[in-house]
């Protein structure tokens, strides 16, 4: 049956329900779900293979995406928390973990895996087919393509999904002469060409430091220049920020091994008569009597710009019928909370999904694979009137609801990877006495949907970090102690939040305490398994007991009852209290403390030497 596009009572024939532009990991992932559902779709790929990007990138060939095969537990979804390269499917054999044993695998293995994935599921990919222009003359799209032989044709589709990935390198427009520099994608990788040379690498992200590390053993001096504070992944918990596997150059800088990082703004690049690059820097100096900018020049043999990517090529769109606004220095498309552009039924999938997510992993396979599955379900609802996937539980059997929450917190891969961005939704329907449990919806999109916004009792479950409650100066890497089990508020690492909404309005939230391995089953709480299950069950009862009438009992919302806490907690004695460093930060939760100093005199001495410190670490 040929697909149709319907608006109201009118239906028009179209060639495809969906056109996907690009056969990278995002395009292949969406194609899998569409094929499984029996939808009419096509993937247009300009190259002769899938995922061509990974034939060249990353340039150092080592991925920064984890391939951890041994995770102690057997649940498939739990293990997907630590498999960052596999696409989702029902075939347990189509896992990237079968392609490499390396924790940080080679990009060539990922390229092979993705092409095998396309072949294994016989996805409808048209290779050597370039999309020339996309327009929307009416309620459907017209996609003009150029095939391998040069023939130009077109097709009509209800929905277009842009899975184009990195379209071009980001060259900062405010650097005069930036066109003289090499780029991350095009620079020569032969280390001998840079032997004992002066190199400048512009950028503060993973590509810049990957490049610096590559040449650190051959180049004489490598400078990495960036005009903002480096965001370390261990602090931000964002996988796209600078990873430890790439930051050896910082170690070398602080151990004074010639290579350096420079926190100055590059303003100009020129070439002198010797063929050297003369680079002008602008550095902020605050120690002068009147703080100001210091301008200085340095000479280099090589300059490489590593400033990331742009994810939109607006020339693909007919400007009269399609509107795709650019954001974030024109690098990303402006997207709604369900990844839609300003043009209805035109979506971006894959790395561009990071346009609305800087908390979790939308810019990587292990994040956008879940986004794409969710978008598929949302489109099934919009275009084919399918219900969003959910299970139904009897509301009076709150134990079943609680067990489902514990199960999702314990083994869910999607909530884990898409922390702070994706959530589960529980709708308690008093009229029919059931609870509808929905999984994996964008947090900010939930209350845009009438079925959730209009409901009286709605609970959202998500995994998120809690470092914001410990004050601005509390470094996450300093928090190495057990959490405070006397409260359900002061958990710092990834842990569950349950939020309560009524008629679309936020009412309250509670949290479960953190678990070292983010499991909430009996394995994690072997001594007191009732701690977590009773906490979330009692919280839900607290808010809907007025209608369901379980009992008049006052429910405990604290993870550990006082009688249990007193048996496992030893208060500091008076002498130990005298050695406790002061906590200067006036935050909701107290930052983690290191071991007690040896004497009260040491506490006072360090306090006098460093009175500026907001909180104390030794």
| pLDDT score for 477 | 76
pLDDT single digits (tens) 82-133: 999 999 999 999 999 999 999 999 999 999 999 999 999 999 999 999 999 9
Between CA 616 and CA 618 the distance in angstroms is 7
Residue 550 pLDDT grade (very low, low, confident, very high; cuts 50, 70, 90): very low
Q: What b/e readout covers 503-536, taking b as 16+ CB neighbours within 10 angstroms?
A: eeeeeebbbbbbbeebbbbeebbeeeeebbbbbb
Give the least confident one: 162-171, 438-447, 529-538.
529-538
Contact 128, 46 (CB under 8 A): yes
Contact 269, 299 (CB under 8 A): no
Give which of 51, 360, 331 is closest to 348, Cα–Cα. 331
pLDDT single digits (tens) 560-586: 666 766 777 788 888 877 777 665 556
- Residue 125, beta-bridge partner list: 43
Residues 6+ apart with CB under 8 A from 500: 457, 458, 459, 506, 507, 508, 509, 539, 543
The tokens for 156 are 């009509």
The DSSP result for 132-163, as a single string, is EEEE-SSSSEEEEEE-TTS-EEEEEEEEEEE-
In three-state secondary structure terms, 612 is coil
Taking the model in full, what pTM does it have?
0.91
pLDDT single digits (tens) 585-595: 567 787 766 66
| pLDDT score for 549 | 45
| pLDDT score for 606 | 45
- Segment holding 206, helix H or strand E: helix 206-215
∠ Cα 347 349 355 (to 5°): 90
Between CA 334 and CA 311 the distance in angstroms is 11
Between CA 312 and CA 362 the distance in angstroms is 16
| pLDDT score for 175 | 96
Give the least confident one: 348-352, 390-394, 612-616.
612-616
Q: Is the pLDDT of residue 1 over 70?
A: no
- DSSP alpha helix (H) spans, 273-397: 365-384
Between CA 109 and CA 257 the distance in angstroms is 34
Q: Per-residue pLDDT averaged across 429-442, rounded?
A: 89
Q: Is the pLDDT of residue 530 over 50?
A: no
Q: Is the pLDDT of residue 517 over 60?
A: yes
Residues 6+ apart with CB under 8 A from 103: 66, 67, 68
Between CA 554 and CA 97 the distance in angstroms is 49
| pLDDT score for 612 | 33
Mean pLDDT of the residues in the chain: 87
Domains of the chain: 12-168+309-384 (3.50.50.60), 171-305 (3.50.50.60), 390-567 (no CATH), 574-609 (no CATH)
Is-cis flag, bond preceding 80, omega within 30?
no
Determine what percent of the chain is predicted with pLDDT higher than 90. Answer: 67
| pLDDT score for 515 | 82
Between CA 364 and CA 418 the distance in angstroms is 11
Give the least confident one: 236-250, 491-505, 529-543, 604-618.
604-618
Q: Is the pLDDT of residue 506 over 60?
A: yes
| pLDDT score for 229 | 87
Residue 287 pLDDT grade (very low, low, confident, very high; cuts 50, 70, 90): confident
The tokens for 566 are 């007193």
Higher pLDDT, 612 or 29: 29
Q: Is the pLDDT of residue 170 over 70?
A: yes
């Amino acid at each position: 049956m040929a697909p149709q596009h319907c608006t109201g009572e009118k239906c028009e024939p179209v060639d495809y329900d969906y056109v996907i532009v690009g056969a990278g990991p995002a395009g292949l992932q969406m194609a899998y779900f569409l094929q499984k559902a029996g939808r009419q779709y096509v993937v247009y790929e300009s190259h002769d293979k899938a995922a061509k990007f990974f034939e060249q990138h990353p340039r150092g060939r080592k991925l920064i995406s984890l391939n951890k095969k041994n995770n102690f537990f057997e649940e498939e979804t739990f293990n997907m928390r630590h498999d960052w390269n596999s696409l989702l499917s029902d075939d347990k054999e189509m896992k990237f973990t079968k392609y490499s044993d390396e924790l940080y695998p080679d990009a060539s293995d990922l390229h092979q895996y993705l092409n095998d994935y396309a072949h294994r599921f016989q996805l409808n990919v048209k290779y050597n087919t370039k999309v020339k222009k996309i327009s929307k003359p009416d309620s459907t799209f017209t996609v003009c393509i150029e095939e391998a032989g040069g023939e130009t044709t077109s097709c009509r589709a209800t929905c277009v999904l842009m899975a184009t990935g990195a379209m071009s390198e980001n060259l900062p427009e405010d650097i005069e002469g930036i066109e003289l520099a090499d780029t991350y994608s095009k620079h020569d990788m032969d280390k001998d060409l840079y032997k004992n040379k002066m190199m400048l690498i512009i950028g503060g992200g993973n590509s810049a430091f990957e490049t610096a590390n590559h040449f650190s053993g051959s180049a004489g001096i490598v400078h990495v220049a960036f005009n903002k504070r480096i965001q370390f992944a261990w602090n931000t918990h964002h996988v796209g920020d600078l990873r430890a596997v790439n930051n050896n150059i910082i170690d070398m800088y602080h151990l004074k091994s010639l290579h350096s990082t420079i926190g100055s703004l590059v303003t100009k690049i020129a070439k002198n008569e010797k063929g050297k690059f003369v680079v002008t820097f602008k550095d902020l100096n605050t120690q002068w009597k009147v703080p100001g900018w210091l301008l200085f020049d340095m000479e280099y043999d090589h300059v490489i710009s590593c400033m990331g990517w742009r994810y939109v090529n607006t020339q693909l769109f007919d400007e009269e019928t399609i509107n795709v606004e650019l954001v974030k220095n024109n690098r990303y498309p402006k997207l709604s909370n369900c990844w839609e552009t300003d043009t209805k039924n035109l979506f971006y999938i894959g790395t561009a999904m990071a346009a609305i997510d800087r908390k979790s992993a939308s810019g990587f396979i292990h994040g956008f694979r879940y986004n794409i599955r969710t978008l598929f379900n949302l489109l099934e609802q919009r275009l084919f009137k399918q219900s969003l996937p959910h299970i139904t539980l009897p509301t009076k059997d709150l134990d079943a609801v609680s067990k489902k929450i514990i199960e999702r917190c314990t083994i869910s891969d999607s909530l884990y990877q898409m922390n702070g961005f994706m959530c589960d939704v529980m709708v308690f329907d008093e009229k029919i006495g059931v609870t509808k449990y929905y999984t994996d919806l964008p947090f900010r999109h939930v209350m845009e949907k009438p079925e959730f916004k209009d409901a009286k009792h709605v609970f959202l479950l998500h995994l998120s970090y809690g470092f914001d409650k410990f004050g601005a100066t509390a470094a996450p890497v300093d928090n190495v102690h057990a959490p405070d089990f006397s409260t359900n508020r002061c958990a710092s690492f990834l842990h569950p939040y349950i939020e309560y909404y009524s008629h679309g309005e936020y009412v309250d939230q509670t949290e479960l305490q953190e678990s070292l391995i983010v499991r909430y089953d009996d394995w994690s709480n072997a001594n007191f398994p009732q701690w977590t299950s009773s906490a979330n069950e009692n919280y839900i009862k607290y808010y809907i007991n007025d209608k369901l009438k379980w009992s008049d009992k006052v429910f405990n919302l604290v993870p550990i009852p006082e009688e249990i806490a007193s048996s496992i907690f030893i208060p500091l004695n008076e002498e130990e209290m005298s050695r406790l460093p002061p906590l200067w930060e006036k935050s909701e939760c107290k930052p983690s403390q290191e071991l007690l100093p040896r004497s009260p005199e040491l506490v006072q001495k360090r306090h006098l030497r460093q009175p500026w410190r907001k909180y104390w670490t030794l």
